[in-house]
Amino acid sequence: MHDPDSMPGAPLDLDDAAKDSVLLRWALTGASQDGDAASAVYGTILAASILIASAGGAGTVFLTVIGTGIVFWLAHAHVAVMRRVVRHGEHIDAHKIRKALTEEWPLVQASLSPAAPLILAMLGIIGETLATDIGILICFVGLVAWGIVVARAAQLSRRHTALAVGINVSLGLLLVVLKVILH
């Protein structure tokens, strides 16, 4: 189990925690040490929410998922930079802006895999409902994977790993309930 007194705030090695699983590496959509796991989880939940709530053709939903991910990425990076200015009196420079954009990039990455089935729907290969359902399933798998990887990287006990995964699964299930209610 992870020692809570050892180097608080030390970055977790997410790449190492996912290295032995092809499924985990795929589900994490390329996010790594340079990015923020919280942003990826948030982006996954955001993508699933849009897939559930959006109306219109596959092309409209695809652009909404990707476009919203990009807008939220920019907003999160902006807030991260502003937080440094307000809390620490730091001056804004290009390096800090690039760093914030890089750290928040997993928010956009998390929308790519769930949006991919919509391309198949736009091409007429699968139906729009199936594409949306596959996208939501991809989000759900991503939430489970993030729970596992973060728990591994933090060296959590099995009980705490189950709790972390359970919370992510619960968030995914809440989205599925929302889909059932809306549709």
- The pLDDT assigned to 110 comes to 86
Average pLDDT over residues 124-149: 90
Which position has the higher pLDDT, 43 or 183? 43
The verdict on residue 4 lying in a domain is no
26 domain-assigned: no
Asked, for residue 19, whether it belongs to a domain, the answer is: no
154 falls within a domain: yes
Band the pLDDT of 121: cuts 50, 70, 90.
Answer: very high
pLDDT higher than 60, residue 83: yes
Flag the least confident range among 16-20, 73-77, 130-134: 16-20
Contacts of 140 (CB under 8 A, 6+ apart): 48, 169, 172, 175, 176
The answer to whether residue 17 sits within a structural domain is: no
pLDDT for 7 equals: 42
Could you give the number of structural domains in the chain?
Answer: 1
Higher pLDDT, 148 or 124: 124
Residue 34, token pair as written in the block = 């340079």
Per-residue pLDDT, averaged over 43-60, amounts to: 84
Q: Is residue 5 part of a domain?
A: no
Domain span including residue 154: 34-182
The pLDDT value given to residue 30: 46
Q: How many whole angstroms from its chain centre is CA 145?
A: 10
Residue 166 forms part of a structural domain: yes
The predicted pLDDT at position 173 comes to 86
Average pLDDT over residues 67-73: 90
